[in-house]
Structure 1
Amino acid sequence: MLHSYFGTKTFAFLSPALVSIYEGNLICPSTFTCPSSHPRPPPPFLPPSLLLSYTNTKWSPSILFISSSSSSFYHSGLRQKTPLIVASTSKSSTATPPSLHSTILLQLLSTALRKLPDVLSSAAAPYRSPFASTSSIESIVHPDTAEHLMKFSIGTPPVPVLVVIDTGSDLVWSRCKPCIDCIGRSVPLLDPQHSSTYTELSCGSPRCKALDASACDKGPKCNYTYGYGDGSSTSGVFSTETLTFDTTDGGTFSIHDVAFGCGHNNSISFNDHLYGLAGLGRGSYSLISQLGPNIGGKFSYCFVPFQENTSTSIMSFGDQAVIKGNGVVSTPLLGEDSGTFYFVILEHISVGGTMLEVPPPKASGTGNMFIDSGTTLTLIDSKIFQQLKQALNTAVKLPPTTDPGKTFLCYNATSRDGFPTITFHFAGNADLVLHPLNAFTEPSPDGLVCLVMLPTDGMPIFGNTVQQNFHVSYDLVGKKVSFKPTLCSKVSK
């Protein structure tokens, strides 16, 4: 979910900070009110090598832990007090800028850090809308550094916005005026006072009470704080608005009374042209759930590769989201009762003729991986990752190395030519062949190609890089997700 980036003037791992797993007790940053804590070992998620991995930057570490008070909600289990470590610059420290390739790797890494342990905890109970008649809504999709963006309009008169597409969270939110954290910055902001359809929800409203992230300690308004796995968060007023989308016949479609977060304090580092984020998970207040019967439980996207950043594609909702034809494979969507996430079963991974067996789900009816459009990297069970690493070393026929931070599996190469395909075998005979474009970074100027996958001892994630140039279609009524190899830059109006 989300990503952070390097600013042009300051060198920053993540904003507000680089986050990685740290084994320790709970303390509190000044921005949160902390209850007395009961330390417990955190569930492992990322390898120890991610702990302040880029030590050549001469950063001074500080410890950050998240409050589990009822007034704030931290996505992916952070209410259970998952401890985090933050790398932050001190006034006396000097940061050595990394190479361009290292910068790209860090941008990829940052999104993986948002999916922390206990992913079975979600923002809201799953919403089971009586999906009925459909209409074909669509949105232009843009690649943007390490994420993909969609476009629609908010308010009356409608204001066009670009937001991050995130199937791994539930809240739709935008930066709003007044913006506490936007002083001196030129960022787009919604002005609620200029919209005739903007309404703040009250503390007593059913929707406020149903939102885990809500709090009513600052007056009659429904205040919220919604956090992500890297410690970043958005807070403001939970409100309703009118959202307007394009339609396939050239018209527009408006849906009224959509609950969203009007964020006045957002500790999330976006590129300056972004308004916020569209949570597309299964929870009650995701965009998908609130579109409800209007889309028949169907949506799809086709992500253009990041290096084709001048190209766009289309995200479809409703009947138009169904993909057909040669090459389509489908796998069951599982975990409907678990809340936010779209779980699937990964059975095997193969490299050439080497087949790696993946541990099955721990319980019947659940998955062992979830699909997340808001995380750039793909995370694989650590034991399987070691086997994958061995198979790749055999297939690539180049001496393996690492990036400067000793985090990623890399090879000294000036192109991705000759690199093997990696096939993910999902349940239902859904085999996804990942070409080098999906699985490896572009060569760096100094000749380094790296795998965009990392090991995890937590829940594996199928990230957005491996989904590029696949048309991905979700059918929540049919309980399946389908994939079709597609040149996504050709999927346009």
Structure 2
Amino acid sequence: MASVPKLLLLALLCSYHSLVAHAADARTHKVLDIESMTPKTVCSESKAVPSSTGGTTLPLHHRHGPCSPVSSKKLPTLEEMLQRDQLRAAYIQRKISRATGGSGVKESNATVPTTLGTKENSLEYVIKVELGSPAVTQTVLIDTGSDVSWVQCKPCTQCHDQADSLFDPSASSTYSPFSCGSGACAQLGVEGAGCTSSQCQYFVQYGDESITTGTYSSDTLKLGSDSVKSFQFGCSHEESGFDDDDRTAGLMGLGGGPQSLVSQTAGTFGKAFSYCLPASSDSPGFLTLGAGTTTTSGFVKTPMLRSNQPTFYGVRLEAIRVGGKQLNIPSSVFSSGSILDSGTVLTYLPQAAYSALSSAFKAGMKQYPSAPPKGPLDTCFDFSGQSTIKFPTVALVFTDGAVVNLDGSGVIVEDCLAFSASDGLSIIGNVQQRTLEVLYDVGGGAVGFRAGAC
């Protein structure tokens, strides 16, 4: 065998060790371009790639970004957004605690209707649907924490401003209000509001005490090229406490209760759906009904947990990794389970888990000066003069070994760690879900995560 000169051998060895070090570094740290953290003013080309060719897929947009079909007159401040987010998180935690006697979420087939909605003004993502015959476009918020869907209808005695025309039930040949004695009216339970002129009335109050009320009705709903006949929804004639700046026509409930879009379309699409929330507001994502009916390739899965509040979808968070190392958090800290929610912005962790995460993350960010807290965001940094930032990877570990490595946009928001502490159960918010296709296989009792979907 020919000999290798010592200098060449040394160079090869250094090169090899450099490659190994870079590979290890890529597993424990990420580099984020500061400019990429600033949303653009124009809508970028879609990078969304749904996993399923079955069902129906709709574009999904952040309501405050340049891709939004209902651009706001005034953007909320960070303080306003986080204040709303804390109210929503606290409300969900109280609701689950009351329903379970403080035991959290667990496996259950209970079907008790929800009592109240969650906080509407904290919701961030919208889709376009068509309602009625002839069909008219309505841009609605999506919410996995609500069941009853609704749009503003004529005549409306008190409505917020919206970009689309008010839905006119008298102009639709397929519109039908439910009678007070109908099964659909009885199914509303506590969200039923009696009768007006023999027509069933609904009433939904959200966590911030905003209210929508009107006639519980049915009409044809068009989702892309698919139509859902006799879709049940609230025709809102009066409301209070809503923000005129949101410009949406209403809300589409994606919860697990009987009134939700998911439950109503189970016969058509199967009881499964998925979505991908984009990394920033200047790019689109998607919502797929019928996801997972043809393939679940590329997903890591964990069991879905339920409580006797069927609206909410639970998972079991078991551990957190920072920089590739698992944090020393007692398993009992996560014993109450976690709620996976599209409408909560941050991820809220029990104090012990958050403290461990914050300490480990700070240890990996020693090269950057600390910065003052921003509301519930108290692990913040000063990135002045930086064009890129290097930070430790963060991964969430769920039951059955489902490891979800968070995208950079799911770790840092507004120069802070995008997590907060809470006194209740964990809530996995939408920041941590960014770029993932999140699959809710309600029929199969599982939640899946697929990386890099949008």
TM-score (norm 1): 0.66
Distance 1:273 1:486, change over 3 A: same
Provide the residue aligned with 2:311 in structure 1. Answer: 340
Deviations 1:371-426 (A, max 9, x none): 11111121111221122221122111134333454754311114662122211110
1:438 aligned partner? 410
Comparing 351-360 and 236-245, the one that deviates more: 351-360
- Report 1:353-392 matches (<5 A): 353-357=325-329, 359-360=331-332, 368-392=337-361
Q: Secondary structure at the match of 1:390?
A: helix
Unmatched runs of 5 consecutive residues or more in structure 2: 1-73, 100-108, 114-120
SS class of match (1:428): helix
Distance change >3 Å, CA 218–CA 359, structure 1 → 2: farther
- 1:112–1:405: structure 2 CA closer, same or farther, 3 Å change rule? closer
Q: Kindly report which structure 2 residues correspond to 1:222-241, keeping only aligned pairs within 5 A, or say none.
A: 222-241=200-219
Q: 2:271 aligns with which of 290, 294, 297?
A: 297
User: 1:93-104, aligned counterparts within 5 Å?
Assistant: 103-104=77-78
For residue 455 of structure 1, what is the amino acid of its counterpart? Answer: A
CA–CA distance in 1 between the matches of 2:380 and 2:233? Answer: 41
Instruction: Tell me which residue corresponds to 1:275.
Output: 249
Distance 1:245 1:470 in 2: 22
Question: Contact conserved, 2:329 with 2:352, CA < 8 A, in 1?
Answer: no
The DSSP-based 3-state class of the residue aligned with 1:396 is: coil
Which one of 149, 164, 167 corresponds to residue 144 of structure 2? 167
**Aligned-pair distance for 1:109?**
4.1
Which has more helix, going by share of residues? Answer: 2
CA distance in 2 between partners of 1:379 and 1:265 (Å): 33
Higher Cα radius of gyration: 2
| 1:473 aligned residue | 439
Match of 2:433, SS state, is coil
Shift of 1:147: 1.4
Q: Deviations over 1:334-357 (max 9, x none)?
A: 116441111100001121225142
Given the superposition, is the C-alpha separation of residues 104 and 126 from structure 1 closer, same or farther in structure 2, using an over 3 Å criterion? Answer: same
The 3-state SS of whatever aligns with 1:383 is helix
Give me the whole-angstrom Cα distance separating, in 1, the residues matched to 2:75 and 2:137: 33
* Superposition RMSD in Å: 3.0
Helix, strand or coil at the partner of 1:417: strand
Amino acid at match of 1:178: P
* 1:131 equivalent in structure 2: none
Out of 156, 166, 170, the residue aligned to residue 193 of structure 1 is 170
The answer as to whether partners of 2:126 and 2:139 remain within 8 angstroms in 1 is: yes
Question: Aligned residue for 1:26?
Answer: none
Partner of 2:300: 329
The reply to whether residue 264 of structure 1 matches residue 249 of structure 2 is: no
Aligned equivalents of 1:360 and 1:478: distance in 2?
A: 27
Contact 2:154 2:237 in 1 (8 A): yes
Q: Secondary structure at the match of 2:128?
A: strand
Distance 2:334 2:279 in 1: 34
Q: Identity of paired residues, percent?
A: 33
Please list, as runs of the form range in 1=range in 2, the aligned pairs for 1:207-246 lying within 5 A after superposition.
Answer: 207-211=184-188, 212-216=190-194, 218-246=196-224
- The amino acid across from 1:343 in the alignment is G
Report SS of the residue matched to 1:466: helix
- Partner of residue 205, structure 1: 182
Match of 1:425 among 393, 397, 400: 397
Q: In the alignment, what sits opposite 1:22?
A: none
State whether structure 2 residue 322 is matched by structure 1 residue 351: yes
CA contact (8 A) 1:150 1:165 kept: yes
Report whether the alignment pairs 1:318 with 2:290. Answer: yes
Residue segments in structure 1 that go unaligned for 5+ positions in a row: 1-99, 129-143, 247-251, 443-448, 489-493
Question: What is the aligned partner in structure 2 of residue 28 from structure 1?
Answer: none
How much has 1:201 moved relative to structure 2?
Answer: 1.4
Do the aligned partners of residues 422 and 404 (structure 1) sit closer, same or farther apart at CA in structure 2, a change above 3 Å counting?
A: closer
Which secondary structure state, in structure 2, belongs to the residue aligned with residue 113 of structure 1?
A: helix
Report the alpha carbon displacement of residue 119 of structure 1 after superposing the two structures with TM: 2.6
Alignment size in residue pairs? 356
Amino acid at match of 2:207: G
- In structure 2, the CA distance between the partners of 1:178 and 1:403, relative to structure 1 (3 Å rule), is farther
Measured in 2, the distance between the counterparts of 1:301 and 1:183 equals: 27
Return the alpha-carbon distance in structure 2 between the equivalents of residues 360 and 484 of structure 1: 28
3-state secondary structure, aligned to 2:218: strand
SS of corresponding position for 2:265: helix
Contact 1:323 1:471 in 2 (8 A): no
Q: CA deviation at 1:439?
A: 1.7
CA shift in 2, pair 1:235/1:146, >3 Å? closer
Structure with more relative contact order (C-alpha pairs < 8 Å, separation 6 or more) = 2
Aligned residue type for 2:382:
N
Q: Does 2:164 align with 1:178?
A: no
CA distance in 1, matches of 2:333, 2:243: 35
- DSSP 3-state at the match of 1:216: strand
How far the C-alpha of 1:165 sits from its partner, in A, is: 1.5
Given that 1:214 and 1:225 are in contact with CA atoms closer than 8 Å, whether structure 2 keeps it comes out as yes
CA distance in structure 2 between the aligned counterparts of 1:158 and 1:127, rounded to whole angstroms? 33
The answer on 1:483 being equivalent to 2:422 is: no
